Structure 1
C-alpha cells in the first residue's frame, strides 16, 4: 500500500506533527522532569496527551492507518498511567490511617 504522501511532500497534518514535536513536547517533558510532584504529574499528563495526538497526525499525514493504531492504544493507556502515578504520589489509605492514629 502506498501512502497518500509518496513523494515526501509536506501537508498540514505533517506540519502540525512537526510543530508539536518541536515546540510543544520539549516544554512538556521539562515540566514532567522538574518542579514539585503535582507539577510533574501535570507535565506527565500533558506529555501523554501530546504523544497520543502525534501518531494520529502522522497517520493522516502519511496516509498509513497503522500509525493511528498506536495513537489509539496510547489514548487508552496514557490516563491509566497518570492515575497510577497519582496513586503513588498520594500514598495509600492505610498509610494515612496509620499516621492519623499515632498522634
Structure 2
C-alpha cells in the first residue's frame, strides 16, 4: 500500500458522516450530504487511479463527475414535490 491509497482510505472513512446524514437528516441536509459524498467518491477514485497507476480510472472519475451533477439535479427535481 502506497501513500496515495492510504489517503484514499482516510477520505473514504471521512464519508461516513455523509452517509449518516443521508440516512437520518432532513431533506435539504440529505441533498448536501449526497453532493459531498459524490465529491469525496470522485476524489477517492482519483487517488486510487494514481495509487494503482491505471489511466482508465481517470475516465471513470470524469464520467462520475458529470453524472453526479446531473443526478443531483434529478434528485432535487424529485424532492421538489415535498418542499
- Give the Å deviation of 1:34: 1.3
Once superposed, which parts of structure 1, at least 4 consecutive aligned residues long, lie more than 3 Å away?
none
Equivalent-residue separation in structure 2 for 1:43 and 1:56 (angstroms) = 20
Aligned mate of 1:55, from 36, 45, 65: 45
Pick the structure with greater CA Rg.
1
1:84 aligns with 2:74: yes
| Structure possessing the higher relative contact order (Cα contacts under 8 Å, 6 or more residues apart) | 2
Return the TM-score normalized by structure 2: 0.88
| Paired position in structure 2 for 1:71 | 61
Unaligned runs of 5+ in 2: none
* CA deviation after TM superposition for structure 1 residue 85, in Å: 0.8
CA distance in 1 between counterparts of 2:10 and 2:25 reads 25
In the TM superposition, what is the alpha-carbon distance from 1:39 to its structure 2 partner? Answer: 0.5
User: Please, which of 2, 14, 21 is the counterpart of residue 10 of structure 1?
Assistant: 2
Give the whole-Å Cα distance in 2 for the aligned partners of 1:66 and 1:29.
Answer: 27
Gaps of at least 5 residues in structure 1 are 1-8, 92-103
CA-atom RMSD in angstroms = 1.1
Distance 1:70 1:27 in 2: 24
Number of matched residues?
81
